[in-house]
Amino acid sequence: MQPTILDALADGLIRVTDEERPRLGKTATPAVFAVFASGSGQFLGFVTSEEIAQAPDRIFADLVPRMVLPCLERKTSIAAALTLMERENESILPVVDDDGAFIGAVTRPRLLERLLDHYQMLSATLEEEQRQLRQWSTRLGELNQASRTLMALMAHVEGEEDMAQHGIHVLATLLRAHYGAVGIVDEQGRLERFFVTGIGREDIERIGHWPKGKGLLGVVVETNQSLRLDDLTRDSRSAGFPPGHPPMKTLLAVPIADDGKVYGRVYLCDKLNGEAFTEEDEVLATTFAHSLALALIQSREQAQRRKAEQETQRLLNENRLLTRKLFRAQEEERKRVARELHDELGQYLTAMQADLAMMSSLSAQCHPEIHRCAQTVDALLTRFHDTVRSLIENLRPPLLDQLGLAEALEELVNDYRSHYRKISWKLTIIGDLGALDETLGITAYRIVQECASNIGRHARATQAEITVCESAACQGEACQRHFGPPPADSDSVRLLIKDNGVGLSSREAKRGLGLLGVRERVEALGGVFSVESQSGQGTCVAIEIPSQARP
């Protein structure tokens, strides 16, 4: 606050009238007299004791200058008063109130003295503020370092226990407290876990049990407010210490809270320098406790997320295992039906065709109508026999069981070469496909069968390339580009099926009935399915299926 001229009013100013001559004492200190008119009370001017002493024979009223002096208002600043004195060449000026009544006078030395005092006070204040700023800067630097330490703990420390234990050690070190503790509470606010620093293992064993959260320890959770005591033993809420507990005096307790929810509290006792905890300590501890609250929240969210992910993965693995069993059961049923069709229905058809051949031969000369009818039925049986053979191959390709996946795929592609002669078919097999389990082998066969059928019937392509490889042997540029490096923890089969046909729209690529069935089968086995296609630029289907459900 800037000083005013009221702070610099001259001491010892004597008020006299122009009709009373002051009696001068024997003091060596010169006096200043403010002279007023005896009748009107008007201020006339100043006379010093020296001036009076030098003119003992003159009338006192004649000593008064009776000149109009500029008056200073009470609100005038010291700087403005000094400027006015400089301009008027005066060393003393009167001061009046808002009504113009005389209050006192100020002198140049007194004004300069007050101004110097003010500057010295400002300098001292500024120096103190700078000292506090340096102190706060140091403390904030420590807090920042502590926060970084806590963030590092969040990144490298697993679980709330380690985080709380390391966190309270960092905080106690920061605030130079001898003892520190973190209490974690449950949803009902009951003390659930307790972590300490500054108390040795022997003391902990002597105490025997952690606190129950009663007395002062429970106040912070109940009120969600900080608590700072210079002597906790004198507080009426204190429940005392159990046997073996080290004595403690000063206390700083802050809630570990965020958005009104309390997750625990932080306790600090007895600073190393023996002083009480300060307001600054409380601010720093509160900030740190809030960071710890955020860390606990994040840790719990991560734990919940990991648990949910693990449960989801468990369900996915169970689903994939069940899907594999279902596919295996389906293939076993297909194999059984195909075998029965081949063994039983095939025999009946063969026998019927033999009987018809005999009937046709016997009736050729004497019964031409029966002969023609027998030939017609024989032709129908031949077509029916071909249909049954095709059905058997679709249910369970015999070559898959007889020769394995690679040879079965070669035969399948040869069939498409004969059916779709305008398309140049290329099949590339990499690695040992015989090492794949039965479910994976039949799945790969069905996928190639479906995709090749789509190319032949719909793509209007002139070229088709089919690549089937075991992931461990898949080192080609195309495989690496579509699939990346093979997984180190499991084997898989990779299929790359490309054509240069009319391509697919984005909707057809996602919802086309044939590809949708392939996608569902692949994803049910934990595989990856992708389609790259643009209208008029061909289609590329990339598929990878693990030999076992991936974790």
| Whether 246 and 284 share a structural domain | yes
Residue closest to 64 by CA, chosen among 32, 102, 91, 25: 32
| Whether 442 and 505 share a structural domain | yes
Q: Can you tell me the mean pLDDT for 14-32?
A: 73
pLDDT per position as a tens digit, 393-436: 677 777 777 788 899 899 999 999 999 999 999 999 988 888 78
Q: Can you tell me the mean pLDDT for 205-212?
A: 66
Pairing of the two strands 463-470 and 492-499 = antiparallel
In a domain, 419, yes or no: yes
Identify the pLDDT of residue 104: 80
CA dist list (Å): 210 to 71, 172, 181: 77, 19, 11
Rg (C-alpha) for the chain, rounded Å, is 52
Find tokens 């600090």 and name the residue.
Answer: 268
* Residue 533, domain CATH: 3.30.565.10
Q: How many domains does the chain have?
A: 3
Question: Of residues 445 and 191, which shows the higher confidence score?
Answer: 445
Of 300, 325, 355, which marks where a domain is finished? 300
In a domain, 177, yes or no: yes
Residue 240 pLDDT > 70 = no
Least confident of 34-38, 297-301, 500-504: 34-38
Residue 314 pLDDT > 70 = yes
**Domain extent at residue 195:** 142-300
CA distance 512 to 42: 111
| Whether 231 and 293 share a structural domain | yes
CA distance 148 to 155: 11
Using 50, 70 and 90 to split pLDDT, how confident is the model at 349? confident
* Residue 33, domain CATH: 3.10.580.10
Percent of the chain with pLDDT strictly greater than 70:
83
- Quote the mean pLDDT of the chain: 80
pLDDT per position as a tens digit, 209-231: 666 656 666 666 677 788 888 88
| Whether 77 and 159 share a structural domain | no
Identify the pLDDT of residue 549: 44
| Whether 470 and 417 share a structural domain | yes
In a domain, 320, yes or no: no
| Whether 81 and 177 share a structural domain | no
In a domain, 352, yes or no: no
In a domain, 240, yes or no: yes
Of 70, 99, 114, which marks where a domain is finished? 114
| Whether 162 and 290 share a structural domain | yes
CA distance 284 to 136: 10
For 54, phi and psi rounded to 5 degrees? -75, -15
| Whether 153 and 285 share a structural domain | yes
Cα-Cα-Cα-Cα torsion 165, 166, 167, 172, nearest 10 degrees, comes to 90
* Residue 200, domain CATH: 3.30.450.40
In a domain, 244, yes or no: yes
In a domain, 370, yes or no: no
Using 50, 70 and 90 to split pLDDT, how confident is the model at 287? confident
Helix (H) or strand (E) holding 392: helix 368-395
| Whether 506 and 417 share a structural domain | yes
| Whether 160 and 274 share a structural domain | yes
Using 50, 70 and 90 to split pLDDT, how confident is the model at 368? confident
Of 300, 325, 352, which marks where a domain is finished? 300
In a domain, 391, yes or no: no
- Evaluate whether 104 touches 111 at the Cβ level (below 8 Å): no
Residue 328 pLDDT > 90 = no
| Whether 108 and 195 share a structural domain | no
| Separate counts of helices (H) and strands (E) for the chain | 16, 16
Residue closest to 538 by CA, chosen among 482, 498, 500: 500
| Whether 445 and 499 share a structural domain | yes
Identify the pLDDT of residue 220: 61
Q: Can you tell me the mean pLDDT for 229-252?
A: 77
Q: Can you tell me the mean pLDDT for 530-536?
A: 85
Helix or strand or coil: residue 397?
coil
Using 50, 70 and 90 to split pLDDT, how confident is the model at 279? confident
Identify the pLDDT of residue 500: 93
